[in-house]
Amino acid sequence: MSGFKDMVTDDVHAVFLNLDEFAEKRTIRYDGEEYQDIPIVLSGLKEQERRQLQSDHVQGLYLVSSVLHCALSDLGGNQPEKGMRIQINNREGGGGFFREFYVASSVCEMGMLRVELEAIDE
């Protein structure tokens, strides 16, 4: 069984995070560390009307949700934890605008992270 897991681990960068196919290099800031130019797939960046409580009188804010896929090794072995903040820049080569998200959930399977992100936007 370890042969299959080894093949999947090798395929994380060669297939799933292939820069010629799906992935883009981005810089991620998490838990006081900065991980520059790592291959990620950021999908489902969409806005939806945020649920308002009866006592909530703020208008025009939207919940932005997205899913981040990246290799656990590219984040130094640190799996993002629910409720923590994570920042992802908007262009290759570092710099640019960093968008801040909250980690809604995080799963790691065979070295690949799937992190559900949420942010409030105007």
pLDDT given at position 61: 59
pLDDT given at position 52: 46
Residues 100/86, Cβ–Cβ less than 8 Å: yes
What CATH number does the domain containing 49 carry?
2.40.10
Residue 34: closest CA among 84, 102, 94, 115: 94
**What DSSP line would sit under 88-118, residue for residue?**
EESSTTS-SPEEEEEEEEEEEETTEEEEEEE
Task: Give residue 30's domain range.
Answer: 2-121
Segment 34-66, tens digit of pLDDT: 999 999 999 886 544 444 444 444 455 567 789
The residues, any chain, with a CB within 8 Å of residue 48's CB and separated by 6 or more, are 62, 63, 65
The residues, any chain, with a CB within 8 Å of residue 3's CB and separated by 6 or more, are none
- pLDDT band for position 121 (cuts 50, 70, 90): low
Number of domains in the chain: 1
pLDDT given at position 71: 95
Segment 96-120, tens digit of pLDDT: 889 899 999 999 998 899 999 998 6
Residues 66/114, Cβ–Cβ less than 8 Å: no
Model confidence, pTM:
0.78
pLDDT given at position 64: 75
